[in-house]
Copies of this chain bind each other. A is one copy, B any other.
Amino acid sequence: MSIGLLERGQLALQSQRFSSLLRARLTTLYPGKACLELPVDENHEQQHGFVHGGVISYLADNTLTFAAGSILGDCVTSEFKLNYVRPAVGSSLLIAEAEVIASGKSQAVCRCEVYFVKDGQRRLCAAAQGTIRRIE
């Protein structure tokens, strides 16, 4: 009996100790798409009470990699670019969605949106684009 793509992705995420430390969860994984969630509290803040950019960039980077990994297998991020569009404040949950927009044999270009949930609504806090490379 084989396990599915989502379960394999969740095992990969669990084997990332930094992701365990941050308590990231992989909630969706199918070919070309991934969704990660991250519960946030005051430990994730910077000095203005916003979620620290480093938390958001971690989440964007990782979600880009899982989206690509759904097609390419074992992967690492080669490069990415992130625009912060709004401070994530007053939220206890970040949600990141990524998708592959082009892929070849050895790498994929992906995009990701990061949202914070507040008062029951998602609001965009960051958008990313990057290149993910298959590990030989």
Contact = CB atoms under 8 A, between A and B. Distances in A.
Interface of A: 12, 15-19, 21-22, 42-48, 50, 52-55, 57-59, 61-62, 65, 76-87, 101-102, 109, 111, 113, 124, 127-131, 135
A18 B124 contact: no
A21 B85 CA distance: 25
Contacts of A19: 46, 52, 54
Contacts of A80: 57, 81-82
Contacts of A85: 101-102, 109
B78 A81 contact: no
A29 B74 CA distance: 37
Given A58-B52, A124-B102, A78 B17 contact: no
